[in-house]
Amino acid sequence: MATDREQQLMRHAFALAQNGPERGVNPRVGCIIATPDGTVLSEGWHMGAGTPHAEVAALSTLAKDAARGATAIVSLEPCNHTGRTGPCVDALLDAGIARVVFAASDPGRHSRGGGARLAAAGVDVEGGVLAADAEALLGDWLPTARLHRPLVTLKWASSLDGRTAAPDGSSMWITGPESRADAHLLRARHDAIAVGTGTVLADDPSLTARDADGVLLDAQPVPVVFGRRAVPESAALRRHPHPFTHYDGRDLSHDLSDLRDRGVRTLFLEGGATLASALLRAGLVDTIVAYLAPALIGGDRLALTDIGVRTIDDALRPQLTDVTRTGDDVRLTLSMKGNR
């Protein structure tokens, strides 16, 4: 069991971790090397992809053999794979570390298992120390590592009867300015924003996050397009601050996994109905944000198409987590947990 001093040092490791970048493919991690009685020998944190991991950063400040017999306190289980850098497990073993205390377990496909390997090599290992605090620190990195894909938020704006456009195809504007401003703030809070090629060809969206005056917000999501058709050379998204990524959408699970490998943890899905329905059918949507306007349109231009429901018993039933009024509209936020 971790001592009071080790728990105190773990909290300091959490603080060290926050010196690292908040976004990107890698997590924030802090590490402290201490003597068995709790005297700190060195400390370090991960500063971003391609830089030394926290354990290596801490060890690098010590003379050879200075860490032999010492304890490593790490906010995340030491990694067990070779990526841009070598396995932290190897670095700890080479340094002669005798005990490792870590908080959250690493769920990564290739990086997990470090604790077990250390224990097999004779190192005293204590995991799960202040794990809840570590999970809060890791934020959305942890669920995306477990899912091997970004967290996906599906957003639509529709009339009260679920129509996203009138029978003639016109859709500007179903919802009011307050809802549109709110949606742009949501765009800015996500790493990437996605649409299908049908939406690109029909609406020519810019996929930028803007204020009420049309000025670009500081944070801009990376544009992503799914579909087999080409994006026109004149498309507005080609003028986006970030270059767009294009997938044919034949294997959505693979595409989302690739996005995560590129550092995308959160994906904001704007449309259209074909792409949204495909992701729902595949169980790849985590949150739904629906703006409902007090308008009735009728017709067949629905927010969704076939999502695999054949009887009422098959209906997807997301959990309502928030209801907020945005001007004359209502924003519903729902969790798909339990429907994946």
CA dist 227 → 195, 199, 271 (Å):
9, 10, 12
Q: Which residues pair with 287 in a beta bridge?
A: 153, 335
**Looking at the DSSP assignment, which residues form a beta bridge with residue 223?**
193
- Nearest CA among 154, 101, 97, 153 for reference residue 265: 153
Tokens representing residue 313 in the block: 């018993």
Three-state SS for 157? strand
Say if CB 46 and CB 29 are below 8 A apart. yes
**What's the rounded Cα separation, in Å, for the pair 177 and 213?**
11
Distance between CA atoms of 17 and 288, rounded to whole angstroms?
A: 31
Beta strands in 26-118 (DSSP E): 30-34, 40-45, 71-76, 99-104
Residue written as tokens 């009422």?
Answer: 312
Distance CA 11, CA 14 (A): 5
The H-assigned helical ranges of 163-299 are 177-188, 197-203, 252-261, 273-281
- Is residue 210 helix, strand or coil? strand
- What is residue 111's three-state secondary structure? coil
Residue type, 106: D
Cβ neighbours of residue 279 closer than 8 Å, sequence gap 6 or more:
152, 154, 252, 269, 285
Angstrom distance (rounded) from CA 129 to CA 10: 8
Sheet with 192-196: strands ordered across:
245-247, 222-226, 192-196, 266-271, 151-159, 287-293, 329-335, 319-326
**Residues with catalytic function:** 55
